[in-house]
Every structure is written in C-alpha cells, then in structure tokens.
Amino acid sequence: MFHQRRWFSATALVLALTLVASACGADDDASTTMAETAAATTTAATDAAGLAPGTYTFGFTAITSGAVAFAGVPHLNGLELAEREINASGFLGEGVTIEFLVEDAGGDQPAAIAINDTYIANDDVLGIVCCALSSVAGAIQPNIVAAGIPWVDHAAISPTITDPDNAFRSFPLSQPSTTAIATAAIAALAPANAVVVVTADNDGLLSDRDANLGALEAGNVEVLGVVDTFADDTDMSGAATQVIALGPEIVFLAMLGNTEVLMIQELRDRGYAGPIVGNLAIATSETFDQAGDTLLGTILPLAFFAGNSSQMVKDFSGLYEAEYDTMPDIFAAQGWQVAWFMATALKNGGEGSRDAVLQGIRDIDSMETVFGNLTWDDRGEATIEEWTFVQWSADGELVLWDGTAAGVLPNVNK
C-alpha cells in the first residue's frame, strides 16, 4: 500500500531552510539551505535549462514489517523527511517536486520482486531505490538489470550489487568499516586468537566475515573457528555455546541485527567476558531496549553518528528530532541520504526520463553528506574518508571509542 504523505511542521520547515553548509569552502557567515549545499558539493553539475514543472516519481521498496523493521522504519522516516525538505526548499526548481512511492516488502524476496516489477512497468517511475537486505537485492537484480532502469541501493551491503552498469550505492560500503574496526581492535587489544560469527546465508555478511578474517590474518591473530548462523534463527544458545567452547580472547560478529543482538545476549549470559566487535546493525535504540546491559562495551563502526560535531549532522539531527521526537540513527541517515542522492541525479539529468536520471547519477562524483564527503568510483560505489568507532554505554547511548584498550567500557562480566 502506498504511504500517506506527511508534510513539514512549521518548526521543521524553519530548520530545513536554515541548514548550514559544513564543507563547501564557506566561511562562518555564509549559510545556505541544504538544497544549496547539495548543489554546491555535487562536483558534476548540470548545464540543462532545468526540469519542467511537475512531480517526478521514484519507487522505494521498504521493510517496515518483519525482523528487520528496526532498520526499515528509520529508513523510511529519513527518506520522507528528506522528500519533504527537498520539495519545501525548491532544490529542484520552481514548481518541481519529487515523490517516492513506497511499498513494504517486509524482507520477503517474492514480494520485493513483485513490487519492483510494478515499478518497472510504470513509465512514470524514473528509478528504483532498494534494498535493506542483500538477499532481497540479489532477488530483484535480474529484472532490474534487464529493464535498464536506474537502481540505487540504500542499505544492503553485498559488494556485487553495483556490478551492473545501472546499479549504484548511495552510502559507503560496510566492508571497509569492518576492516577498519577489526584492525583497530587488534592493535589496541592485542588478542592471540579470535572467533568470527557470521550470518551465513547473507552475501553481504559473508563479505564482512571475509573482511574480519583478512584483518585477523594481517594482524597475525589465530582464528579458532568461524561459527555459521542464519538469518531466520531465533535461538543463539547453540551457536554461543560453540563460541565459548573455542575459548576466544575476542569475538567478531558479521551478522544481521536481529540475530546479532541475540548472540551478544547469549554470550554475556553464559559468562563470556572478552571483547565483542559488532557492526552497524546493532546501532539502534531498539537494540538496547531488547538487550540492555549485555551490550555494554560492544564496539562497532559507523559512517553516521548523531554525536558528530559536523554542522550538517547537527542540522539533520535537529530536523529529525523535531519531526520524530528521537535522534536519527545510521538507518535514518541512509534514508535521508538516498533521497538527496536521487534528487541530485534528477536535477543533473535535467529531464524526466530514466536515461536522463541514469546519466544524472553517473555525473555525481562527490557529495557532502551526513556521512561526510562521499566520492563515487566508476562502479557506482561510494567511499568515505573515515569511520567513527562507538560503543554501547550503561546509559543506553552510543559513545565514542577512542581506539585504546583502556577506552573500552567494561562489559557485564568484568
């Protein structure tokens, strides 16, 4: 079912129109709207006369139900907030608006295929935004490639998503973050051995597993074992028992959020006292509500952290909190970013056709975003300058990890 549209409150609109450019070479007195920032920091600007007045439509496949709704709900919140801000700011030109059609696939592959086939068949849909799960991305890929419609992945982490020349990613791929935090943890904590736990039926997380293993090999850390789990698992007691029996000094998790949080709970409940290194999938308040103090001291890497001092992050966080009465997480940032990415591509293309949008995407070399400055390579992959390392605190907040052994907060078994 298509979503019902909600429009800016007066407070949110005022905030949107006073966003400050954080990295455009601007001085402290030169403030712009987010619309101006997006235009200024997209290195390939269009020479076209501009879009004709009207509404330009894109299809978004949501995951607001099911096991991964903890990510899908903020994805949609961030996307809709950006949609409203883009339209209110006049970014696309006078009388020009963008609209995202939204349907929920709930993480189901056949449902996602059907939704995206409907988008493909609708000539008014200029491009597709999907997915939150690599398994779903793999399922929809053949039909999207055959149709040639522009496709932008907003959250799934399989490296092969961007292999087709009409497929792109609007956020930085997770594997470099996995390598970065694994390398930092090894340097800081000097473990002699480790265990890696993976969601083995998810291509993106298999790649994260390999990133962990690569860092462990580079750090001369013995791998005692790799424990396989699966996306639909609801009981991690057996896998946790396997991990503890191996006796690792540190555990690395390459898992979906719904299973990763269960694994951490089971490990801590069974007395495991060593450090645990997770991923962005456990960076939500719902995760802490579920797992509580078993998460304490779990470290993870993020491309977006609401506590960042960047003015752009502060402004986005203020907008989001004003609209939804909560601070944005990494998933909200992914939704926000992909909406701006599609709007920028549409503006670059200069006309309402799929071919123009496709070229408009290819013309985006870099953007200043809430993730920092993103640059895109010829494959349509986004890269980021640096990652933020965080950990769960006793207050149920993500706080910075400084990359030292002393800086890791004590877990419940210490």
Answer yes or no: same fold for 10-173+309-386 and 175-278.
Answer: yes
- Beta strands at 372-376 and 366-369: parallel, antiparallel or unpaired: antiparallel
Q: What is the predicted pLDDT for the residue at 55?
A: 98
Q: What is the DSSP string of 86-123?
A: HHHHTTT-TTEEEEEEEEE-TT-HHHHHHHHHHHHH-T
Q: What is the predicted pLDDT for the residue at 49?
A: 63
- Beta strands at 276-277 and 54-62: parallel, antiparallel or unpaired: unpaired
Q: What is the predicted pLDDT for the residue at 16?
A: 38
Beta strands in 279-324 (DSSP E): 299-302
Q: What is the predicted pLDDT for the residue at 17?
A: 36
- pLDDT tens sequence for the chain (414 residues): 223 333 333 333 333 333 323 333 333 333 344 565 555 444 444 444 699 999 999 999 999 999 999 999 999 999 999 999 999 999 999 999 999 999 999 999 999 999 999 999 999 999 999 999 999 999 999 999 999 999 999 999 999 999 999 999 999 998 999 999 999 999 999 999 999 999 999 999 999 999 999 999 999 999 999 999 999 999 999 999 999 999 999 999 999 999 999 999 999 999 999 999 999 999 999 899 999 999 999 999 999 999 999 999 999 999 999 999 999 999 999 999 999 999 999 999 999 999 999 999 999 999 999 999 999 999 999 999 899 999 999 999 999 999 999 999 999 999
CA–CA dist 272, 295 (Å, integer): 12
Q: What is the pLDDT of residues 69-128, one digit of tens each?
A: 999 999 999 999 999 999 999 999 999 999 999 999 999 999 999 999 999 999 999 999
Q: What is the predicted pLDDT for the residue at 92?
A: 98
To the nearest 10°, report the CA torsion of 183, 188, 193, 198: -50
- Beta strands at 398-400 and 125-129: parallel, antiparallel or unpaired: unpaired
Query: In 247-295, which ranges are continuous DSSP H helix?
Result: 257-269, 285-291
Domain spans of the chain, in order of start: 10-173+309-386, 175-278
β-pair partners for 60: 102, 129
Q: What is the predicted pLDDT for the residue at 39?
A: 52
Two structure tokens written together for 266: 């089971």
Q: What is the predicted pLDDT for the residue at 35?
A: 61
Q: What is the predicted pLDDT for the residue at 38?
A: 55
CA–CA dist 150, 148 (Å, integer): 6
CA–CA dist 44, 55 (Å, integer): 23
Cα–Cα distances in angstroms (integers) from residue 409 to residues 169, 274, 371, in the given order = 34, 12, 25
Q: What is the predicted pLDDT for the residue at 344?
A: 98
Q: What is the predicted pLDDT for the residue at 24?
A: 33
List the 398-400 sheet strands across, edge first.
222-229, 193-199, 251-254, 276-277, 299-302, 388-392, 398-400
Q: What is the DSSP string of 342-406?
A: HHHHHHHH-SSSHHHHHHHHHT--EEEETTEEEEE-TTS-EEES--EEEEE-TTS-EEE--SSST
Q: What are phi and psi of 167, to 5 degrees?
A: -120, 140
The CA-based angle 283-287-292, given to 5 degrees, is 120
**Tally of CB atoms within 10 A around 91:** 23
The second-level CATH assignment, the architecture, of 175-278 is 3-Layer(aba) Sandwich (3.40)
Q: What is the predicted pLDDT for the residue at 36?
A: 59
CA–CA dist 18, 2 (Å, integer): 31
Q: What is the predicted pLDDT for the residue at 234?
A: 96
pTM: 0.87
Q: What is the predicted pLDDT for the residue at 224?
A: 98
The SS3 call for residue 151 is: strand
Q: Do 103 and 62 touch, CB atoms closer than 8 A?
A: yes
Kindly tell me the sign of the dihedral angle through the C-alpha atoms of 22, 23, 29, 30. Answer: negative
Please give the DSSP secondary-structure letter assigned to residue 9.
-
Cα–Cα distances in angstroms (integers) from residue 97 to residues 19, 83, 87, 292, in the given order = 19, 9, 5, 43
The SS3 call for residue 207 is: helix
The second-level CATH assignment, the architecture, of 10-173+309-386 is 3-Layer(aba) Sandwich (3.40)
CA–CA dist 197, 209 (Å, integer): 8
List the 167-169 sheet strands across, edge first.
96-104, 54-62, 125-129, 151-153, 167-169
